Chain A
Amino acid sequence: MIIATTEELPGKRIQESFGLVRGNAVRARHLGKDIGAAIKGIVGGEITEYTKLMGEVREQALDRMCKEARARGANAVVALRFANTEIAAGAAEILAYGTAVRVEEE
Chain B
Amino acid sequence: MSSTDERAPSGDHPRRDELLCMAYVDDELAADARVELERRMAGEPALTAQVSAYRKLEVLARQVAPDEPADHEWKRLEREGTQRAGLGVGWALFVGGALFFYGWLGLELATDDELDLVPKLAIAALVGGFTLLLGMTLRARLRNLPHDPYTEVKR
> Cα distance A56–B14 when bound, in Å?
30
Q: Are A10 and B20 in contact (CB under 8 A)?
A: yes
A 28-69 contacts with B by CB, 8 A: 32, 35, 48, 51-52, 54-57, 59-60
- B residues near A60, Cβ cutoff 8 Å: 150
Contact partner of B13 (CB less than 8 A), chosen from A6, A55, A56, is: A6
Number of A-B contacts defined by CB within 8 Å: 40
Contact-residue size bin, chain B (C-beta under 8 Å from the other chain) = 10 to 19
Q: Is B30 an interface residue (CB 8 A)?
A: yes
Q: Are A10 and B9 in contact (CB under 8 A)?
A: no
Interface of A is mostly: helix
- A residues near B62, Cβ cutoff 8 Å: none
- A residues near B143, Cβ cutoff 8 Å: none
A-B pairs with lowest CB-CB distance, top 3: A56-B150, A55-B153, A11-B33
B residues near A (Cβ < 8 Å) are 7, 9, 13-14, 16, 19-20, 23, 29-30, 33, 74, 91, 94, 150-151, 153-155
Taking A11-B33, A52-B155 as known contacts, 17 extra A-B pairs with beta carbons closer than 8 A to each other, sorted by chain A number, are A6-B14, A7-B9, A8-B19, A10-B19, A11-B29, A11-B30, A32-B91, A35-B94, A48-B74, A52-B154, A55-B154, A55-B155, A56-B151, A56-B153, A59-B150, A59-B153, A60-B150
